[in-house]
Amino acid sequence: MKKSQVVANIIIAVMIICLIAITFTNVATTYVSGDTRVIYNGDTKSNNVCFMVNVYEGADEVRAMLDIMDLYNVKTTFFLGGCWAVNNLDLVKEIYARGHELGNHGFYHKDQDKLDYDANVQEINMCHQVISKNLGIEMTLFAPPSGAYDVTTVDAATSLNYKTIMWTHDTIDWRDKNSNIIFKRATKDLSGGDLILMHPTKQTVDAFANILAYAINNDFNPTTVSACLGGQI
């Protein structure tokens, strides 16, 4: 092999190594620069999972889900929209009385990444006050409506002593009204610490008992978001 070819091969090899190094550096930087105040899953070493429910509608479906969870002795976290809670206070009190955790889902279901700091605070705090004044409890978990948040949203939530909660898996049950699809999305690759997002739809109710049975039969413990987070709260 000619000396020029050896030099060319060395240059190519160095370029490849540099490219790989840059790639891994970017991945690491993206991970490190992620806002650790935003939580996508709980303790992955536990067998806890949470089929958490975001609520802005579906009072009848909420009641049905409560009854199913009673049958399986399961508790979960309901993230409540403030305007829904105002119109369904008796049901909100029933959810809490049955031993479930309540979380904050904003007041008017706005995309909070489009709001300034003060508007973010207002959305979260208005919902907080509804629950605090009527149930005498202080919620600490906030799920941004539509999963829409930015650093301003997280700053606002943190200022109000809230953890910002996202999800590990999304059933997309609000869009795809098919109980078989909802079951598959809720149970596929289920792992300890998973936070599975659901909504009170008819099809979710139809799939819910089978989802809980699947989790329990596979040695998972369906529980609240706080229980999933463990030491993170």
The pTM for the full model equals 0.84
198 and 226 housed in the same domain: yes
Q: How many Å is the Cα radius of gyration of the chain?
A: 22
Place of tokens 């998973």: 194
- Tokens for 183, please give them: 């079951």
Residues 87 and 15: their CA atoms lie apart, in Å, by: 63
In contact, 163 and 196? CB cutoff 8 Å: no
In contact, 119 and 145? CB cutoff 8 Å: no
135 and 149 housed in the same domain: yes
User: How many domains are there within the chain?
Assistant: 2
Residue 42 region, left (φ>0) first, then alpha (ψ -120 to 50), else beta? beta
- Which residues are within 8 A (CB) of 216 and not within 5 positions of it... i.e. 6 or more apart? 72, 222
Q: Between β-strands 169-170 and 221-222, what pairing exists: parallel, antiparallel or unpaired?
A: unpaired
82 and 16 housed in the same domain: no
Place of tokens 């959305």: 123
Per the document, the length of the chain is 233
23 and 48 housed in the same domain: no
189 and 76 housed in the same domain: yes
Whole-Å CA distances, 98 to 14, 60, 94: 63, 16, 6
95 and 54 housed in the same domain: yes
In contact, 80 and 92? CB cutoff 8 Å: yes
CATH number for 210: 3.20.20.370
187 and 119 housed in the same domain: yes
19 and 53 housed in the same domain: no
100 and 214 housed in the same domain: yes
7 and 117 housed in the same domain: no
User: How do the pLDDT tens digits run along the chain, 233 residues long?
Assistant: 544 454 444 444 434 333 333 333 332 222 223 688 999 999 999 999 999 999 999 999 999 999 999 999 999 999 999 999 999 999 999 999 999 999 999 999 999 999 999 999 999 999 999 999 999 999 999 999 999 999 999 999 999 999 999 999 999 999 999 999 999 999 999 999 999 999 999 999 999 999 999 999 999 999 999 999 985 54
Give the domain range for residue 90: 38-232
